[in-house]
Amino acid sequence: MNSSERVSEIVPERVSERVSEIVPERIAVRDNVALMPGYHSPQLDVAVRLNTNESPAPPPEGWAEALVGVLAGIDWHRYPDRAARELRVAVAEHEGVAPEQVFAANGSNEALQCLMLAFGGPGRLALAFEPTYALHSHISVLAATEVMSGERRDDFSLDPDYAAAMVSRHRPAVTFLCSPNNPTGMVEPQSLLERLLADVAALPGLLLVDEAYGQFASRTAVRLVDESRPLVVARTYSKTWSMAAARLGYLVAPSWVVAELEKVALPYHLDAFKQAAGRLALAYEREMKDRMAVLVAERERIAAGLDQLPVRHWASEANFILFRPCSADGEAVWAGLAARSVLVRNCSSWPRLAGCLRVTVGAPAENDAFLSALSEVLI
């Protein structure tokens, strides 16, 4: 048989028929995974990218130089310290807790995944209050945990009596709170945290407070963590430490929680680069606070600019602001901004957020470009 005869035997319309003859039926993915979308932040080639809550400023030069020096001394042919001891000691000193109360991972999302692998699972339930960070529910489903969604008030605050009733009725293994909440930017009152913590402890269960944006806020739940309370606080290096590319985060929790998380984490999951980068970053706390002060000032400047436009926006203690155009379609406004090379997050498909957009606080010039473009779109 010559080559032309061989090609003619497999014509395009017969390819699928022949494949079906030789390929066995494929195993189906889990039902709940098959129905769920992946979690993505759409990216476009634009001049101003304000859709993923990244820091507009890089880490200080001194950090990068110190990191290069440390990396030169790493034995790359050896596994990293599985316990990430030096990093955990540094984080513990920074947060005012014991090293045994720190669990570090590849971003706070992996830390949350380990939490749900250890304390979630079949027959257990997670409780979240919408609108909030979508990955809380997403990770819970991946860990085969049923998710119950509670509702916030019209102003996106959380009614303490309602929240307590949801905990009592559904008895969740893990209750999620995000403070400042993503995407609203609102900080949960201390009284609410303390009440829910008591309710969760009585079940028993865990209260997870996600403080990915906690350093921008006026208060933190870390000070409530001790061995007697079932409280876990999540934090990340991606925002205030300007280290989104490193993918490093951690949980502060009672040591008995951390011990269980270490059982479900993959061996040597935290590489030597991340451990060194995270440890060295903590030596630049003053620079971090300076960057935060600039971003907070810029956040307030954006809010003042939004006050002059036909939009509703919510008071934020994070590095972003949620807003909704008053008389224009949110999708159209998002497209209008993108056409002007400004990318913000379109939250219209999120629970309770029809028509809403979220803008990250960027560098001053980026914020100027956003406000100018939004003014053109709306007026």
Judged against a pLDDT cut of 60, whether residue 362 lies above it is answered with yes
Q: Six-digit token pair at 158?
A: 């959380």
Pairing relationship of beta strands 48-50 and 342-346 according to DSSP bridges: parallel
Give residue-wise pLDDT tens across range 81-133. Answer: 999 999 999 999 999 999 999 999 999 999 999 999 999 999 999 999 999 99
Give residue-wise pLDDT tens across range 206-226. Answer: 999 999 999 999 999 999 999
Q: Six-digit token pair at 255?
A: 């040591």
Judged against a pLDDT cut of 60, whether residue 52 lies above it is answered with yes
Judged against a pLDDT cut of 80, whether residue 14 lies above it is answered with no
- Please tell me the CATH code under which domain 48-58+286-378 is placed: 3.90.1150.10
Per this entry, what is the length of the chain? 379
Q: Give Cα separations from 283 to 5, 63, 66, 286, 288 (angstroms).
A: 71, 8, 10, 8, 10
Over range 355-370, report the average pLDDT: 98
Q: Six-digit token pair at 290?
A: 């300076």
| Residue 233 CB neighbour total at 10 angstroms | 25
193 in Cβ contact with 209 (< 8 Å): yes
Q: Six-digit token pair at 7?
A: 């090609």
162 in Cβ contact with 154 (< 8 Å): no
Over range 34-39, report the average pLDDT: 59
- Two domains, one topology: 48-58+286-378 and 61-283: no
Q: Give Cα separations from 82 to 104, 140, 238, 270 (angstroms).
A: 11, 25, 22, 7
Judged against a pLDDT cut of 90, whether residue 9 lies above it is answered with no
Confidence of residue 41 (pLDDT cuts 50, 70, 90): low
Say what the pLDDT of residue 29 is: 80
Q: Give Cα separations from 333 to 300, 321, 363, 366, 377 (angstroms).
A: 22, 15, 22, 17, 6
- Mind giving me the DSSP string for 289-300? HHHHHHHHHHHH
The secondary structure of residue 186, as a DSSP letter, is P
What's the mean pLDDT when you consider all of the chain?
A: 92
Say what the pLDDT of residue 267 is: 95
pTM for the structure as a whole: 0.90
Over range 21-47, report the average pLDDT: 73
Over range 194-210, report the average pLDDT: 97
In a 13 Å sphere around the CA of 349, the CA atoms on its Cβ side amount to: 8
Confidence of residue 22 (pLDDT cuts 50, 70, 90): low
Helix axes 285-307, 364-378, angle to 10 degrees: 20
Residue ranges of domains in the chain: 48-58+286-378, 61-283
* DSSP H or E segment with residue 176: strand 174-178
Share of the chain above pLDDT 70, in %: 91
- Please tell me the CATH code under which domain 61-283 is placed: 3.40.640.10
| Residue 169 CB neighbour total at 10 angstroms | 11
